[in-house]
Amino acid sequence: MLAARIHEFNQPLQIEDVPIPEPGPNQVLLKVAATGMCRSDYQLLDGYFRDGLPVELPFIPGHEVCGYIAGLGAEVPSASGLSEGDLVVVNPNWGDGTCRQCHEGNEQLCSNGQLVGFGPNGGFAEYMLAPYDHVISVADQPDVTPAYLAPLTDAGITPYRGMKKLRDAGKLGAGRTVVVTGIGGLGSYGVQYAKLLGGGATVLGFARSDEKLAVATENGADHTVNVRDKSADAVQDELEELTGRRTVDAVLDCAGSPESLGLGASILATEGALAQVGLMGQRVELPLFPFVSGEKSYFGSFWGNHNDLIEVLTLARQGAIKHHIVPTRLADVNDTLEALGRGDIVGRAVIVFD
């Protein structure tokens, strides 16, 4: 099979002919149909995760995977309902099953777990392996286009979980304002979740290009603000003109840059909350006294769990989610990664296999 593998950090992926893996007793072999491409794949290649997620080189990235079952391990139970030829998505967070986080269903938080494409070989290849209990059949999806389904396993669930944190903290609802910052692969979904979960809250999209803001409007944003080269005061002037207020009740930060986090913190109202899912920077710096005296909150929110994914797949099955997909090929993986690093991709890049 053809696979794009990391041999060295800060070097292009090498597309190579490697053996098709054999499934272990409790694994399934997938013929990959589509794999989403995330900015974290670019960061993985440039060494951003080298300390937090050490990997053994060479290996195959790719953590947003949809494919067809091509083989079943000898001990995959018939009760799983899986058969060769089934179209499935991969739940990419594989916990050890023993810790408190796993017992609570949050395998993505397991300190001894694995994240596919960040250690276990992922979907930048024609075939890959996955535990049978971490694949989910999508045969009942009315739109079974793998290119639409693959990104839901990260770009789809990550902002969903973050928005649920804001909702459950009581920061959404009628008369409230929520901002989604960074209208890229995650933020294009985040705006939709703000409308779906927001209980009537006014939804704004913040981005640094009008092209990305057009996606936010298409996906339901009530207002948009181009924040490129603007001070917090200038952004607040636009907020006041659009909403009648200079502050907002909730921010879902899908960028995670020092600039976006600083802006989000500066426009939070008293008792406001900021949920961060983006990972562009290295540190979070928040104004201490305004956060304490205003009882503001900061939430880290990482990926999503099995139930988050099931909920998002259900919303997709109901036609409640719009997709903005940029198809690409495995042969063009390095060019697409560079475009992701520059922020040139509007929507979600997806490798589509024949």
Q: Are 15 and 3 in contact (CB under 8 A)?
A: yes
Where does a domain end: 281, 300, 319?
300
Asked whether residue 131 falls in the same domain as residue 50, the answer is yes
**CATH number of residue 274's parent domain:** 3.40.50.720
Specify whether 174 is located in the same domain as 147: no
Same domain, 185 and 71: no
Q: Which domain holds residue 227?
A: 158-300
Pairing of strands 87-90, 64-72: antiparallel
* Angle between helical axes of 158-168 and 187-197 (0-180°, round to 10): 30
The answer to whether 327 and 345 have CB atoms below 8 angstroms apart is no
The per-residue pLDDT for 52 is: 66
Can you give the pLDDT at residue 143? 65
Distance, in Å, from the CA atom of 41 to the CA atom of 326, rounded to the nearest integer, reads 16
My answer on whether 170 and 244 are in the same domain is yes
Q: Write down the pLDDT at residue 54.
A: 73
The answer on 142 and 6 residing in a single domain is yes
Predicted pLDDT of residue 289: 87
- Same domain? 261 vs 119: no
Instruction: State whether 162 and 147 are in the same domain.
Output: no
Predicted confidence at residue 156, as pLDDT, reads 96
CATH, residue 30 = 3.90.180.10
- Residues 135, 276: one domain? no
Domain boundary among 300, 317, 343: 300
pTM score, two decimals?
0.94
**What is the C-alpha to C-alpha distance for residues 114 and 276, in angstroms, rounded to an integer?**
22
- 102 and 77 share one domain: yes
Domain count within the chain: 2
Q: Residue 196: name the closest of 165, 167, 237, 233 by CA.
A: 167
Report d(CA 346, CA 188) in Å as an integer: 9
Q: Are residues 342 and 222 in the same domain?
A: no
Q: Which residues pair with 178 in a beta bridge?
A: 203, 250
Q: Which of 300, 318, 335 is the last residue of a domain?
A: 300
Whether residue 269 is found in the same domain as residue 238: yes
With H, G, I as helix, E, B as strand and everything else as coil, classify residue 73. coil
Are 290 and 165 part of one and the same domain?
yes
Q: Please report, in tens digits, the pLDDT of each residue of the chain (354 residues total).
A: 999 999 988 899 999 999 999 999 999 999 999 999 988 888 888 877 776 667 888 999 999 999 999 999 999 999 999 999 999 999 999 999 999 999 999 999 999 998 998 889 999 999 999 999 999 999 877 767 999 999 999 999 999 999 999 999 999 999 999 999 999 889 999 999 999 999 999 999 999 999 999 999 999 999 999 999 999 999 999 999 999 999 999 999 999 888 999 999 999 999 999 999 988 777 788 888 899 999 999 999 999 999 999 999 999 999 999 999 999 999 999 999 999 888 888 889 999 998
3-state secondary structure of 341: helix
In the block, which residue shows the tokens 């997938």?
Answer: 30
